Structure 1
Amino acid sequence: MSAYACEPDKGSEPEVGWQWVIHLAKHCDVTVLTRSNNRKAIEAKLQSLSRPCPNFMYMDLSSTMRSIKKKVRPDFLSVSLYYWLWQRKASKKIRELCAKQDYDLVHHLTIASFRLPFAVTGHGLPCVVGPVGGCEEFPEALFPNGEFSVRFKESLRNWMTRLHIRAGFGMRRYKEADQVLASTQEMSDVFKKCGVDSIVVPQIGMPTLRCQKWNTQPRKIRKKFRLLFVGGLFYWKGIELALQVMTKLPQYVTLDLLGGGGEQSALAKEVLRLHLEDRVKFLGRKPRKEVLALYEDYDTFLYPSLHDSGAFTVLEAMASGLPIICLDRGGPALSVTNECGKVVVTRGRADTIDGLVTAVKYYLDHPSKVTEHGANGRMRVEEAYNWKQKAKQMTELYSSIINRTT
């Protein structure tokens, strides 16, 4: 398995890589090729895990290239160059490993962006790529008002995504894989347009024990209705939309933003401009254990992100018994059903904001649905996103691929 990003307790994509490989190792004899940079955290974590565990092999580029990766700006160029060179080296390493030992299949896990290359094809073995995502666009109708830099960045991103797809940049390599996994329905639709067969498999999951430990009691009745957002404070997370939603809700509705970085200072100014300083609070970054304990203090999770392929925090909120309000885009739209939340259709700016307002008011008017949808959300996480079950399903997929290609 090729997993450039694979590190325990790191969150985001490193956590995706880590969870997949440790759970798949319970069903398969797994060798993982990852970065040497991940070695210290991986080796420490392995000491506390029950066997069987994956066999890890570590590889990185020269110290000069690592220095360039850290220092050269813009960082997306230096990181992309480093990743591309790492994959070239990984291809040679995989070829060496296959010459020394019999493997049944190779699988590219991370980085899970459809734009980036992978090293698992061309080795004479069945190969799987994904789940990959990243094709989700920021709807131009929802660009923040007056934010030229945001409009420019996202217009450029949208344009590059369309060019990559229409011109076929890198898309042909997916036809060499025996199975392509798409992390969202949007990504699967793009593959179909490019003549690539794929199946939808969410990138993310949740350990069973985490679901069991969290609170399963009915939510407390409070004088205030508390909304929560957890994540990086970036414009594409839709927080500016959430602030507009708050202006249309009763005074007893509050919103706490848990996270940092990105556009926090700009968002703080927007809160003041909209006179929401008494109802919208910035909680900053907190340790993961504190974050998980905080969920039960809230009534609903508001997550109007515009292009998230996954979103761990949505699953965490669901597992903690919070109904979810999100947009019909990316990973959250795949996770949330009408039985555990509200998925708002993105149209024009005004209509989308009104749709989010209507969703919040639904829970204000139907408080029993907060508990009911929260319970359904916990059940959905356990049934559809349990890592043990996901690993079992992936192993069954491996078997079917090997049977049809040998």
Structure 2
Amino acid sequence: MTSQISQKKKILIAAYAISPYSGSEFGVGWNFVSKLSEFYDITVMYGTSGVCMGNRDAMLAYLQSQPADGVKYVYVEPNALVRLFDWMNRSVTPLFFSFSYMLWQRQVLATAKKLKKNEDYSLVHQLNTIGFRHPGFLWKLDLPYVWGPVGGSSDLNDIFFPILSKGNYLRNKLRNWTNRYFLRHSARVRNAAITAKAVFCATSADRDNFRRFLNVDCQVIRENSVLNMKDAIKPTGAQVQFVWAGSVDERKALNLLFSALEQLPSRSDWCLHVIGDGPIKSMLQARAVVSELDKQILWHGQVQREEVLRIMREADVHIMPSIMDSNPTVLLEAFEMGLPSIALDQFGAHDLITAETGFKVSVNTLEEIVEQLAQHITFCLDNHATVDLMKTNVLLRQKELHWDISLRQVRDLYEKVSHE
């Protein structure tokens, strides 16, 4: 066994956020590192596994229960200045995160240089955060450099700004402007992209942006993939069960779905399950009462992931009208549960959903989006057999979206890079 381990290539990974108990960036770090460790001798440098930079309670708890999982975890402790900026990020404005993260990445570079003196690494991989504005500094090491998955380079479409609150309007205008600035003018982004032996992007939109602005060719490898595959579908019953899950906020755009439901003629052959809480929930609940939709909407609130999956398992169609999402976990969970999805034709949904596995809503005008949502919902209500066929197609598509495929793609990149 020892000889087999010694033959594995040694890979140095920077994963700012990592935890076996959380999703989002933490899950991205954990899934890639844990799964790649089956094939490589992994050393991972990390900065958080909890609510803020420097919180590593979750990883300490994990390492106590699994002290020998085959990965070397190197905690890069934020220094006093990094912690100050992180406190300002949480207490004053999120704009300070960039400062804290950049300074922490300089600590990562220093740590990597020390590790490199004692280990013969085949390559170094900047894993997360996946935002393209934060490539870190590991490209400065004298090692083949891999960067990805890279995301967050796409703008919010202008048609959505009229439905945003003043704060979100200004925040997303600033985000769009800084996206274009970083793609065109950031020396760190350009140096990382050009120096990298391989860059892989989270979505085809991110790939296209890297080609257009940085003249760098990227492969698309999602930050999340399907883990569990369902064996059989649940036939659609007399009442079609729709499900929506996420934070009830402007970005997830549950209000657009409500506008579509309000266009439907009065009929009782549907039910909508809403999973999650958020700042506009009470407003939407009041709106449902006024529009007489409340009797067909079940508000589940914030529940554990196991309960989310149970509700989705009993549903028929997943609806995701998010106006800004890369590869949301809930969309991949819908694939795991064998559900066709209705989603806006942009970002990750554009790549994931096919005509055989769901409905993609063209992003032209708000009026057309609402109209198409209503049309797709009506189609599902009137064509149960087609919905069941889509469910079967989703089960077939699971294999293409499985983690095994993503890992194979990353391993192919590793092998190519380490032999160049």
What amino acid sits opposite 1:8 in the alignment? Answer: P
Displacement of 1:64 after TM fit? 6.5
Match in the other structure for 1:228: 243
Match of 1:6 among 15, 18, 21: 18
Partners of 2:164 and 2:250 within 8 A in 1: no
Displacement of 1:81 after TM fit? 2.0
Match in the other structure for 2:29: 17
Describe how 1:244-323 pairs up with structure 2 within 5 A: 244-250=259-265, 251-252=267-268, 253-323=270-340
Q: 2:46 & 2:190 partners in 1: Cα distance? A: 25
Match in the other structure for 2:415: 399
Describe how 1:7-406 pairs up with structure 2 within 5 A: 7-35=19-47, 37=49, 39-45=56-62, 53-62=70-79, 65-66=82-83, 68-70=85-87, 72=89, 73-145=91-163, 147-168=165-186, 170-173=188-191, 174-194=193-213, 195-207=215-227, 210-212=228-230, 216-222=232-238, 224-250=239-265, 251-252=267-268, 253-381=270-398, 383-404=399-420
Q: 1:269 & 1:91 partners in 2: Cα distance? A: 52
Partner of 1:61, secondary structure, is coil
Larger relative contact order (Cα-Cα within 8 Å, sequence gap ≥ 6): 1
What amino acid sits opposite 1:175 in the alignment? Answer: I
**1:180-231 superposed Cα distances (whole Å, 9 cap, x missing partner):** 1111111111101121221111111132xx325xx72433513x32211111
Q: 1:56 & 1:136 partners in 2: Cα distance? A: 33
- Provide TM-score, normalisation by structure 1: 0.90
**1:143-173 superposed Cα distances (whole Å, 9 cap, x missing partner):** 3547333333322222222232233464312
Partner of 1:153, secondary structure, is helix
Displacement of 1:300 after TM fit? 0.6
Q: 2:155 & 2:189 partners in 1: Cα distance? A: 17
Q: 1:375 & 1:150 partners in 2: Cα distance? A: 39
Aligned length: 398
Q: 1:292 & 1:201 partners in 2: Cα distance? A: 24
Partners of 1:219 and 1:296 within 8 A in 2: no
Query: More deviation in 162-171 or 112-121?
Result: 162-171
Partners of 1:23 and 1:388 within 8 A in 2: no
Give percent identity, aligned residues only.
Answer: 28
Q: 2:247 & 2:358 partners in 1: Cα distance? A: 22
Query: More deviation in 57-66 or 280-289?
Result: 57-66
What amino acid sits opposite 1:25 in the alignment? Answer: S
Q: 1:50 & 1:335 partners in 2: Cα distance? A: 37
Partner of 2:413, secondary structure, is helix
Partner of 2:106, secondary structure, is helix
Displacement of 1:130 after TM fit? 0.7
Aligned alpha-carbon RMSD (Å): 2.3
What amino acid sits opposite 1:155 in the alignment? Answer: K
Q: 2:127 & 2:395 partners in 1: Cα distance? A: 26
Partners of 1:237 and 1:306 within 8 A in 2: yes
Q: 1:100 & 1:19 partners in 2: Cα distance? A: 27
Partners of 1:140 and 1:155 within 8 A in 2: no
Partner of 2:407, secondary structure, is helix
Partner of 1:245, secondary structure, is helix
What amino acid sits opposite 1:255 in the alignment? Answer: L
Partners of 2:199 and 2:218 within 8 A in 1: yes
Partners of 1:130 and 1:180 within 8 A in 2: yes
**1:298-342 superposed Cα distances (whole Å, 9 cap, x missing partner):** 221000112211111111111111111111111122111111111
Displacement of 1:393 after TM fit? 2.5
- Provide TM-score, normalisation by structure 2: 0.88
What amino acid sits opposite 2:360 in the alignment? Answer: V
Displacement of 1:43 after TM fit? 4.7
Partner of 1:243, secondary structure, is helix
